Amino acid sequence: MIDFTKIWRVRKDQYFSLALRYFRLIGNSGFMLSLYILFVTGSFYYARILKQLPDNFPALWLFVAVFAYLLTKSPVRTFLRNGDLVFLLPVESRMKEYFRHSIRYSMVVQSFIVVLVFVALGPLFSKYISGRGLEMIITIVLLLAAKLWNIKTSWEEQRLPFNRNRRNHTYLRLAVNAVFVYLLFQKAYVFLIAILAIMYVLSNFVFGYIKKAHGYKWEHLLEVENGMMMKLYRVANLFTDVPQLAQRVRPRAWLSSLSKVSYSHSHTFDGLYRKTFFRSNDYFGIYIRLILIGGLFLFWIPQGWWHPALVLLFLHATGIQLLPLYKHHKGNVWFELYPVKHQWRLRAFQKWLRLLMLIQAVLYVAFLLAMGGTWTNGVVCAVLAVIFVWLFTEYYTKKQLLRVR
């Protein structure tokens, strides 16, 4: 007889072993230094930022947006594998305990995230919503109850046969969660009872009907599970080779037009790295996100010597995150057969990385000046950024990349 509890636990342990191995590599990278400095800087200025917020700051709507999203996004981690379509599909009727473990695991992990976000926003809650400890506890408990409801209903959504049906039910949950969170942070507990009643009806008569009418869609469950695994692989691939990573290529024709270069042997890798940056995995997304996050830090932190330091810090983070672009095509036989010199490959990557970092620096300096910063501060940031980018691409990059040649 198959012990499904044992199978689930073995798979969970194997996943954690794999994740810990990758997190050790990430922890030993230079990027963690940037994150640590950002955390210390953000913690130092968090209290100052709260004091600067006006009394009419829309904290309520911030809470509604953040927690409606966190509650609605409730995937269930199943740890299913491709071979299960052959070996476990025939015994689907006996897998209730297996999936029950998955729901419990997802509840614990996602509840921790909800509590962590709530604690991070705790000072905002105390200032704009309520400073009473009892109300904070009640709010956390009700948020966790709503998270449990979302995980269970989200799990039943996976039985629906089409993506359109699943999206419609997700939008329904999003609307219910938004109203629930709004009433919760407005402390309208009488009306909140009505929303809880609606959630109960939806759970039993709408999602309950789905459970009775549809079986598990194994292909979809595998797609969801593989998607969550790819998130771990994509993060780890920024720091080391991940052979399990499935590469995704997006058209992005409007961006690919920016990658046109001269047709000559010496410019082969120029075009390749530009197209890879815009179309493969999440390099372009990481670049944009780091620019936006850096802009937020520059906006919130008062004028001073911290600004040049933050500019250099985010330039360093961007450089570290984009280094894996160099070895993106490693192992591709066609890539290795290019009749071009290795020096051209290295020079093309350094030139492209230098251009991206300089664009980021220009945006930061322009943003600082637009916020009313002094020209002296802008010039200092620009000069330090140019020197840093040149040193990073000419020396640090070459030292790191020659290891993966």
> How do residues 311-337 score in pLDDT, each as one tens digit?
888 898 888 888 888 877 776 666 666
Token couple for 55: 């009394």
Q: pLDDT-derived band of residue 273, with 50, 70 and 90 as boundaries? A: confident
How far is 329 from 21, CA to CA, in rounded Å?
23
Please check the confidence at residue 94 and state whether its pLDDT lies above 60.
yes
111 burial (CB, 10 Å; 0-12 / 13-18 / 19+) is middle
Q: pLDDT-derived band of residue 261, with 50, 70 and 90 as boundaries? A: low
The predicted pLDDT at position 338 comes to: 67
Please check the confidence at residue 163 and state whether its pLDDT lies above 80.
yes
How far is 80 from 99, CA to CA, in rounded Å?
10
Residue with tokens 């593989």: 226
How far is 151 from 103, CA to CA, in rounded Å?
7
The predicted pLDDT at position 155 comes to: 94
- If one compares 257 and 279, the residue with the highest pLDDT of the two is 279
pLDDT, average across residues 76-103:
88
The predicted pLDDT at position 130 comes to: 83
Distance of CA 251 to the CA centre of its chain: 21
- What is the per-residue pLDDT across 366-405, written as a single tens digit (0 to 9) for each? 988 888 777 788 888 899 999 999 999 888 887 777 654 4
- The answer to whether the beta carbons of residues 340 and 268 sit under 8 Å apart is yes
pLDDT, average across residues 52-63:
84
How far is 97 from 8, CA to CA, in rounded Å?
9
Please check the confidence at residue 3 and state whether its pLDDT lies above 80.
yes
Residue ranges per structural domain of the chain = 4-231, 253-404
Pick the closest to residue 355 from 273, 282, 254 (CA basis): 273
How far is 290 from 324, CA to CA, in rounded Å?
16
Average pLDDT, the chain: 83
The predicted pLDDT at position 92 comes to: 82
Please check the confidence at residue 98 and state whether its pLDDT lies above 60.
yes
How far is 380 from 90, CA to CA, in rounded Å?
67
Three-state SS annotation for the chain? CCCHHHHHHHHHHHHHHHHHHHHHHHHCCCHHHHHHHHHHHHHHHHHHHHHHCCCCCCHHHHHHHHHHHHHHCCCCCCCCCCCHHHHCHHHHHHCHHHHHHHHHHHHHHHHHHHHHHHHHCHHHHHHHHCCCHHHHHHHHHHHHHHHHHHHHHHHHHCCCCCHHHHHHHHHHHHHHHHHHHHHHHCCCHHHHHHHHHHHHHHHHHHHHHHHHHCCCCHHHHHHHHHHHHHHHHHHHHCCCCCCCCCCCECCCHHHHHHHCCCCCHHHHHHHHHHHHHHHECCHHHHHHHHHHHHHHHHHHCCCCCHHHHHHHHHHHHHHHHHHHHHHCCCCCHHHHCCCCCHHHHHHHHHHHHHHHHHHHHHHHHHHHHHCCCCHHHHHHHHHHHHHHHHHHHHHHHHHHHHHHC
How far is 125 from 62, CA to CA, in rounded Å?
10
The predicted pLDDT at position 337 comes to: 67
Please check the confidence at residue 146 and state whether its pLDDT lies above 80.
yes
The predicted pLDDT at position 177 comes to: 95
Q: pLDDT-derived band of residue 296, with 50, 70 and 90 as boundaries? A: confident
Report the residue count for the chain.
405
The predicted pLDDT at position 307 comes to: 83
β partners of residue 280: 249
Which residues lie closer than 8 Å to 315 by C-beta, 6 or more apart? 357, 360, 361, 385, 388, 389, 392
pLDDT, average across residues 140-149:
95
How far is 104 from 17, CA to CA, in rounded Å?
20
- What is the per-residue pLDDT across 337-347, written as a single tens digit (0 to 9) for each? 666 667 777 88
- If one compares 85 and 37, the residue with the highest pLDDT of the two is 85
Rounded to 5 degrees, φ, ψ at 249 are -120, 125
The predicted pLDDT at position 56 comes to: 83
Token couple for 373: 């910063």
- If one compares 291 and 29, the residue with the highest pLDDT of the two is 291
Please check the confidence at residue 182 and state whether its pLDDT lies above 90.
yes
- pLDDT more than 70, % of the chain: 83
Residue 284 Cα distances to 169, 256, 325, angstroms: 31, 12, 11
The predicted pLDDT at position 368 comes to: 87
- pLDDT more than 90, % of the chain: 30
- If one compares 209 and 36, the residue with the highest pLDDT of the two is 209
- What is the per-residue pLDDT across 189-243, written as a single tens digit (0 to 9) for each? 888 888 989 898 988 888 888 888 888 889 999 989 988 888 887 777 666 666 6
Residue 286 Cα distances to 66, 175, 182, 238, 344, angstroms: 21, 30, 32, 10, 26
β partners of residue 249: 280
